[in-house]
């Protein structure tokens, strides 16, 4: 909240996304972005609610565009007008949470449907 963070250029942000293995995230117009495709409205709302919880818990809020089977996430640190480490940290947490599935052989079986797609 008020701490000064390094602002990344777009080229530096692209390199940082690659370093963090956030392959589906991209840089455009001063934001890091990711499209999550879903199997429909109900799953889209679940993704939006999950992202909202993460943003509120981290006190770092994304811009979201929501349609029937897609959520577009846009991150930059509004207070600094730039992409910062806060954005990369939030993107990593979002990716881990939204795409999480139980590992084979564990007590949780996991949903048999691919309700959030790991593609843009």
pLDDT at 120 over 60: no
The per-residue pLDDT for 113 is: 81
The tens digit of pLDDT for each residue in 1-59 reads 457 789 999 999 999 999 999 999 999 999 999 999 999 999 999 999 999 999 999 99
Cβ atoms of 51 and 88 within 8 Å: the answer is: no
Please tell me whether residue 40 adopts helix, strand or coil conformation: coil
The tens digit of pLDDT for each residue in 51-94 reads 999 999 999 999 999 999 999 999 999 999 999 999 999 999 99
The tens digit of pLDDT for each residue in 98-118 reads 999 898 899 998 888 878 887
Strand intervals (E) in the chain: 26-28, 31-38, 63-67, 70-75, 116-117
The per-residue pLDDT for 114 is: 77
The per-residue pLDDT for 119 is: 65
Beta bridge partners of 38: 116
CA-nearest of 2, 25, 9 to 82 is 9
Distance CA(116)–CA(12), nearest Å, equals 29
Range 29-101 has CATH code 3.30.1360.20: yes
Where exactly are the structural domains of the chain?
A: 29-101
Pairing of strands 26-28, 31-38: antiparallel
């Amino acid at each position: 909240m008020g701490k000064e963070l390094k602002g990344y250029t777009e080229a530096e942000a692209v390199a940082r996304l690659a370093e963090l293995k956030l392959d589906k995230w991209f840089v455009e117009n001063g934001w890091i972005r990711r499209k999550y495709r879903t199997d429909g409205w109900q799953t889209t709302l679940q993704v939006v609610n999950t992202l909202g919880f993460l943003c509120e818990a981290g006190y770092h809020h994304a811009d979201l565009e929501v349609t029937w089977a897609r959520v577009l996430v846009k991150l930059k640190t509004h207070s600094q007008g730039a992409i910062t480490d806060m954005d990369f940290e939030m993107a990593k947490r979002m990716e881990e949470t939204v795409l999480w599935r139980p590992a084979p052989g564990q007590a949780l079986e996991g949903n048999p449907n691919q309700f959030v797609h790991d593609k843009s």
